[in-house]
Chains A and B, each alone.
Chain A
Amino acid sequence: MDVRSVTDALGIQRESEDREPQSMARILGWFSLGLGVAALAAQPAISRLCGVDDSPTARTVLRIAGARELGTAAALLIPRRARWGMWARVAGDAVDLAACAMAMRDRQGDRRQRLTYATLAVAGIAAVDLYTAVRTTRGARRTTGDRVRASVTVNRGVEDTYRFWHDFENLPRFMYHLESVRTTGDRRSHWTAKAPAGQTVDWEAEVVDDHPNELIMWRSVAGGGLPNSGCVRFVPAGGGRGTEVRVELAFTAPGGRFGARIAKLFGENPHQQICDDLRRFKQVIETGEITRSDGSPEGTSLRQQMMQRPAQPLATR
């Protein structure tokens, strides 16, 4: 599995990404580096070991394989996450196995025996590579964010903070992807989110758990346009430091059509968007307004921080 269960600082069971396939990929990256250096620097010894020291073609093949391994090592060791680098290793293994099979045809005796051992070793490594490649790919697919969480400390008591959040109609004031939230019943509300090209996505949500001053959990009602759920917890930050607000949003249908919709709603980086939302939440509940500067007239958002206009007043409309 690429997800494992951990207990967080608040004693709550939650999922966490399993880093093991990534560390395995790094180990294989170092292995590629070693292999590449060996094949290029100690080519005669290696070809003897594999029983192919009788053919100039085999030596050339070995050198090419060495160069290839250096490239694979770079692809595995340089990026923060190994992605296609693992599949490059798998493809390399396939080529090596084919080369071994061809070399096997015209070799006898001691050479054939050494070649058999070499082939078995390649096959073993190929199995490990394939397994790791599949796991890293599955891990990468999950990072499109079907679950995001973020937290902020606000200088207000838990009562005020809970009350502000409990009225879902307040959320669009600081959650920029929401157009409106309308309370439709005791535990029911109607949410409208902005989608690209002026479109909107609607869904009904219901509160599934509500502990005053502690926690609110909600989820969309079956049949809505965007299956999702959310949880916000309020914890007093000791010594009069206000309230820690911890938010977790989950989308129950990752991948496919819904995944694409979520990606559009949240842009490239859903985690950053939630962080921006919470920063604006803090501004609104503490100061009563969203902080705006001339460089960031629409207020805090990562996109705006990256694309600053000059710090001079906007032309009046």
Chain B
Amino acid sequence: MRANCWVAPNNVAVEDVPDPRIINPRDAVVRVTSTAICGSDLHLLQGYLPAMRKGDVLGHEFMGEIVELGNGVRDGLRVGDRVVVAFPIACGNCTSCERGLYSLCENSNPNAAVAELAMGHSPAGIFGYSHLLGGYAGGQAQYARVPFADVGALKIEDDLPDEKVLFLSDVLPTGYMAAEMCDISRGDVVAVWGAGPVGYFSAVSAFLLGAGRVIVIDRFPYRLRLARERAGAETINYEDTDVMDALREMTAGRGPDACIDAVGMEGHHASAALHAYDKAKQTVKAETDRPHALREAVLSCRNGGTISAIGAYTGFIDKFPMGSFMNRSLTMRSGQAHVQRYMRPLLDRIRKGEIDPSAIITHTMRLDDAPHGYDIFKNKREDCVKVVLKP
């Protein structure tokens, strides 16, 4: 089959690889009909996540049709079913899964011992997301093996097009969880750093959860326009406005009640010097992640407010404003999205028309064009927000 593989930092290629098959009783093999490139794939692309190997099949946002099923799959899945697959692989049986913390599944990372060296304890395995998180082949391919299919594959029974349900695999639940972690009370002001797909869905979800105002911060006018026009957010372009001043002004001195970091480890800063400082440290591995958005979110948040860190980080950051965080009674919540927990309720919201996930799609192309998709998505060319690949 054809699959998009990681070759070297900043180099992916669509190659011929063997077809997947059932290797465990609870596996399913899915013929992929739609798959997307995620912002976190860009971290893998640049080689910021350790433990990538030449030939790794990328992709953790995908959906398709079940073509083969192991004999241990419960929960009434059938060959021919149309399914969306959650990006964290979760067994459904361990304590974490039973508590709904699917991205912390205790059984799905066969390489947990290595993850423990890096992180202390291991999170769940993730499709196409480095050998640290399992070494699973991803979904930017014609076929994908889905372990624990009875937990991770959600059957789509109505005729909603792929474009409306594909993002249940990651970015929609991720944005929703970011907003949920803010514990929003009616009328809250929520600030969101990053106007990419996750930032967009965070803004949409914050409104659904009762926020009075949502303020989205980015530097690309076309992305800010999307947040304004489709999510109803106010926007700040940090390249021409001082963010902390603007937020103070917009909230009459209080600061936002909650701040969502939907940027993560590859943040940028309006000040070239500050950006260069963190970029240099990251290059020589003196820190692994550039936390510009997180620092600003902490400093901007109102006293006693909440930071929701949803953008991906991998390792260590420098100059976290701990004094501000501690003295002002802030709360930080975080995590890879527990997708399985949100898929059904969000599917209901899509059905009711409360959310239209297809709003973020700017490009649809063939799987063979994946390298081009990565290029325009990474370099923000052609006003790219989200690329959907059709195998």
Contacts and interface: CB of A to CB of B under 8 A. Distances in A.
Interface in B106-161: 106-114, 125, 128, 131, 134-138, 145, 147-148
B24 A295 contact: no
Nearest to A283: B107
Given A155-B98, A312-B56, A296 B93 contact: no
A55 interface: no
Nearest to A272: B113
B21 interface: yes
Contacts of B63: none
**Chain A facing B: main interface SS:** loop
B187 to A, nearest CB: 37
B57 interface: yes
B19 A311 contact: no
A308 interface: yes
Q: Which of B54, B92, B135 is the most central at the interface, judged by chain A CB atoms within 10 Å of its CB?
A: B135
Interface stretch (A28-36, A76-84, A256-264, A299-307): A299-307
Contact of B24 (A292, A314, A315): A292
B24 A311 contact: no
B286 interface: no
Given A308-B135, A312-B57, A313-B19, A288 B95 contact: no
A289 interface: yes
Nearest to B129: A311
B72 interface: yes
B143 to A, nearest CB: 8
A294 interface: yes
Q: Which of A242, A287, A300, A310 is the most central at the interface, judged by chain B CB atoms within 10 Å of its CB?
A: A287
Interface in A263-317: 272, 275-276, 279, 282-283, 286-297, 299-300, 302, 304-305, 308-316
B57 A287 contact: no
A283 B20 CA distance: 22
Nearest to B148: A287
A313 B139 CA distance: 11
A293 B91 contact: no
B335 interface: no
A241 B98 CA distance: 11
Given A293-B125, A294-B137, A313 B26 contact: no
Contacts of B274: none
A65 B23 CA distance: 64
Interface in A102-117: none
B80 interface: no
B5 interface: yes
A295 B26 contact: no
B7 to A, nearest CB: 11
A294 B16 CA distance: 16
Contacts of B92: 287
A316 B5 CA distance: 19
A36 B131 CA distance: 47
Nearest to B107: A283
A161 to B, nearest CB: 14
Contacts of A311: 53, 55-57, 128, 131, 134-138
A292 B22 CA distance: 11
A313 B114 contact: no
B221 interface: no
B87 to A, nearest CB: 14
Nearest to A286: B93
A299 B23 CA distance: 11
B72 A313 contact: no
B139 to A, nearest CB: 12
Contacts of A275: 113
Contacts of A289: 24-26, 72
B147 to A, nearest CB: 7
7 contacts: A289-B24, A291-B91, A295-B53, A295-B136, A310-B54, A311-B131, A313-B17
Given A288-B26, A305-B114, 15 more contacts: A287-B91, A288-B72, A294-B136, A295-B110, A295-B131, A295-B134, A297-B23, A300-B111, A300-B112, A308-B135, A311-B134, A311-B136, A313-B17, A313-B137, A316-B21
Interface of A: 153, 155, 241-242, 272, 275-276, 279, 282-283, 286-297, 299-300, 302, 304-305, 308-316
